[in-house]
Amino acid sequence: MKIYSLQDFLKYLEKNGELIRIKTEVDAKLEAAEISIRALQQGLPALLFENIKDSRFPLAMNVLASDKRIELALGKHPDQLGEELITFMEDAMPPKPKVFFKHPGITKRLISTLPKTTFWTTSQEVIQGTDLNGLPVITCWPEDGGPFITLPQVFTYDPRNGKRNVGMYRMQVFDGKTTGMHWQIQKGGGFHYFQSQKSGKPFEIAVALGTDPALLLATVAALPEGIDEVMFSGFLRGRRTRMAKGKTISIPVPADAEFILEGTVHLTELRMEGPFGDHFGHYSNASEFPVFHISAITHRKNPVYPATVVGRPPMEDKYLGNATQQVLGPLIRLIHPEIKNLWAYYEAGFHNLLVVSVEERYRKEAMKTALSIMGEGQLSLTKCVVTVSEEVNPRDFHAVLRAIHEHFDPAYDFIMIPKVPLDTLDFTSYKMNLGSKMIIDATRDDTAKKQVDRKTSQNFETLLKDIDNRIIHWNLLGEALLVVSVKENGREVVRNLTKSTGITGPAIIAAVSTDVDICNLEQTIWGIFTRFDAERDIVFTEEKLVGISPVFRGKMGIDATWKTGYPSPLVMPDEVVDRVNKNWDAYWK
């Protein structure tokens, strides 16, 4: 089946048993979010809510919230597409005509990257006016600043050269005609806004709601700055993306979207936006962001409104993020041939943990690679980079821990970088857009030092209670990572454990709060890597200065407990949970 729109894909999902229609009336405020979260956790199909309270439009959720749905969207596994792409690129250096005949599938996709201008559109079949109030815009979490458009595909153009960017930036609905525009740092739309401010030219933008999966995946992909997402969507789809002139703006808009919001962002106007329950599993703090003023809303006949929920993993962004890094990840080898693979962990919100496998051609090349990655586009927002040798699979967290256990010596293999740009959503430094980062080098380095010899302690249960009775639970992962659960004073507990001569074996000891299930690997990674600041919350058995250079020895400790001043973790109200429990069976009739 040819898939050119969201509704094409929904029909395809239904044909393959991957869509459920819910006819029971559902409230877009919290109830729809709770249903979608629970459905994802239970492995249920995508959801089409046909009866949303106070709206005449149906609501689609969890559309790409499984590996199977991602594969249906792309026509093949994203790993396969990624390897085909990098093989073609490597064969094409230098360019040779025969390469295009050798790779006909990729060649067809490359030809499809050029967008197509058309006058026949479905996204402009109906001109609604400028009122957002009829759309089923969801409220995801109880402390959110209001309803948010959570799957907007924002089209902006650089005023200097007309280059296009398509990004996904949440949009808080202030009223029927205005929304927030949450441009975080290192985002293409924010760069275009910056250039418009310098030039003083009016900043027109278009927002597409509901496109085919190829354009959606291209929108969320961490493409290099200046690479056109519309062209990349043509590559993913194998068919050119249709674009058309806007009704009230001069810039092109997608011709096959469900809805198009046209308008302008004023260059000097800011408004308080948020808080918002974000993909780090906490609320991001309210702050001032630009305001989008709507000049027209168009849509196709009988459109479907799309939405997603982000929060404590797993959520739908797991599948979106994993798919895009599977397709694009291999391309890093064009810039860094020493890199064999890399993987950003959705459990940590992607930006908080990146593992890179490196074939070292000289001593400490892995550390050089890590430093370089921290200056590359979206990867520059990574908080923790772990490097491993080429035979280690970065996606296998237990294999990564084994590498750390066998090869990590903080005296040689740890770098902390303070006071640098950090993901806007990271709250651990208490300063928006600023924080600290760290590198752990767990590659083999037999020429520089001996293998790290760590014999694991016996009888942890008795040992830990004797060291600090504030420890409630503990879990040892791969002999490398000891995780303890504490109610308070995480820093003191971690300090006591790293100083203890009785504990041997683990290279890293982390303390987390009691809301983290330390017997669940997914929740453990989330609980550790979203709740510490490298500069403030890392300790070692021994710390000293040699000149101005810090030297660390022994065990590494991480205080990853929730701290006063952090935003609250995301929790759904009991009354919403009870309502969904009560109506659960009715939803599926």
CA distance 239 to 528: 42
**Contact assessment for residue 340 and residue 166, using Cβ atoms and an 8 Å cutoff:** no
Rounded Cα–Cα distance for residues 368 and 416 (Å):
14
Residue 278 is among the residues annotated as catalytic for this protein? yes
Give the Cα separation of 135 and 63 in Å (integer). Answer: 18
CB 371 within 8 A of CB 439: yes
Q: CA dist 301 to 135, 151, 211, 506, 552, Å?
A: 14, 20, 14, 60, 64
Name residue 102's amino acid.
K
Catalytic residue among 27, 144, 228, 278: 278
Long-range contacts of 369-376 (CB under 8 A, 24+ apart): 369/336, 369/338, 369/339, 370/415, 370/439, 370/441, 371/415, 371/439, 372/336, 373/336, 373/342, 374/417, 374/437, 374/439, 376/335
Strands ordered across the beta sheet of 46-49: 19-22, 46-49, 59-61, 305-306
Residue with tokens 């017997």: 519
Eight-state DSSP code of residue 285: P
Tell me if residue 89 falls in helix, strand or coil.
Answer: helix
Determine the 3-state secondary structure of 365 from DSSP. helix
Give the C-alpha separation, 309 to 39, whole Å: 12
Nearest alpha-carbon partner for 204 in 275, 242, 154, 254: 154
Active site residues: 278
